[in-house]
Amino acid sequence: MKLRKPPNGATWFLKQFGSQSEDESVIGDLTERYQRGGGSIWYWRQVLVIVFVSHVQNIRRDKWNFLAGLFRAWCLCAGLILVQMIAVYQLVRWGNLQYIYLISTIMGLCKTLAIGAYIGRSSKIHTRTILLPFIASFVVWDIAWLVTNLLLLHRYLPPGMEFTFIIRNIMSMPLDAVLILLGGLWGTRCLTALAPKR
């Protein structure tokens, strides 16, 4: 009888965001139950529940450091957004409108990577405990930003630019989340590499 292998993505997600102390035993138990007849959806649901419960426990254990880390990440985000807005304003002032979307997009991508890396390197509690809630709050903020801009800017955008504006912003939402995640994982790896060996 050939043993079924559990979904790689779910196992990776559990290793990255689950409780570090219980990872191997939890993965072993889940794999056994999966091979006895659990489906892929069941496996993913179990992984998401384990990660969620682990995060809630970490937040409850150290809520002030969690809130302080989230606040610092949002302060950095606000500062980088301000720099991006000033750069776009300068481009408009100088009349370089042909490059405005390109430069704004590149700055936005760098911003999200930098925020993720900052969270990965500066967290006083389990880095991934702050990373996922920050990504969720950033996506909610991104949606609110898009709706607000559409309501305010629809009068000022040239005809045909609304569609471009909407598509660009909708495409950037999942990309922003992925880049924050990658930046956070990279920042965590850098911090682990710099730690003294025992």
Start-to-end Cα distance in the chain: 43
Prediction pTM value: 0.77
**C-alpha triplet 188, 194, 196: angle, nearest 5°:** 120
- Would you say residue 1 has pLDDT above 60? no
- Does residue 119 contact residue 184 with C-beta atoms inside 8 Å? yes
My answer on whether 99 and 167 are in the same domain is yes
75 in the same domain as 48: no
Task: Quote the pLDDT of residue 21.
Answer: 56
* DSSP line for 5-38: PPPHHHHHHHHHHS-TTTHHHHHHHHHHHHHTT-
- 119-174 pLDDT tens trace: 888 777 767 778 888 999 999 988 888 888 777 776 666 666 667 777 777 888 88
3-state secondary structure 79-133: HHHHHHHHHHHHHHHHCCHHHHHHHHHHHHHHHHHHHHHHHHHHCCCCHHHHHHH
- Please give the average per-residue pLDDT across 87-101, as a whole number: 75
Q: Is residue 103 a part of any domain in this protein?
A: yes
Same domain (yes/no): 27, 103: no
Decide if 181 is inside a domain.
Answer: yes
Q: Are residues 141 and 159 in the same domain?
A: yes
pLDDT for the residue 185: 84
127, part of any domain: yes
> Is residue 129 included in any domain, yes or no?
yes
184 shares its domain with 146: yes
User: In the predicted model, is pLDDT for residue 77 greater than 60?
Assistant: yes
Task: Using alpha carbons, select from 120, 147, 150, 153 the residue that is nearest to residue 134.
Answer: 120
How many structural domains are present in the chain?
Answer: 2
Assess whether 84 and 36 both reside in one domain.
no
Residue 1 lies in a domain: no
For residues 103 and 130, state if they share a domain.
yes
Same domain flag for 37 and 106: no
Of the two residues 173 and 92, the one the predictor is more confident about is 173
In a domain? residue 3: no
- Give the whole-angstrom CA distance, residue 8 versus residue 112: 26
Give yes or no: residues 38 and 77 share one domain.
Answer: no
Angle value at C-alpha 156, between 152 and 162, nearest 5 degrees: 80
- Same domain, yes or no, for 144 and 128? yes
**What confidence category does residue 84 fall into, taking pLDDT thresholds of 50, 70 and 90?**
confident
Q: Is 79 in the same domain as 46? A: no
Q: Which domain holds residue 85?
A: 63-194
Same domain, 53 and 127: no
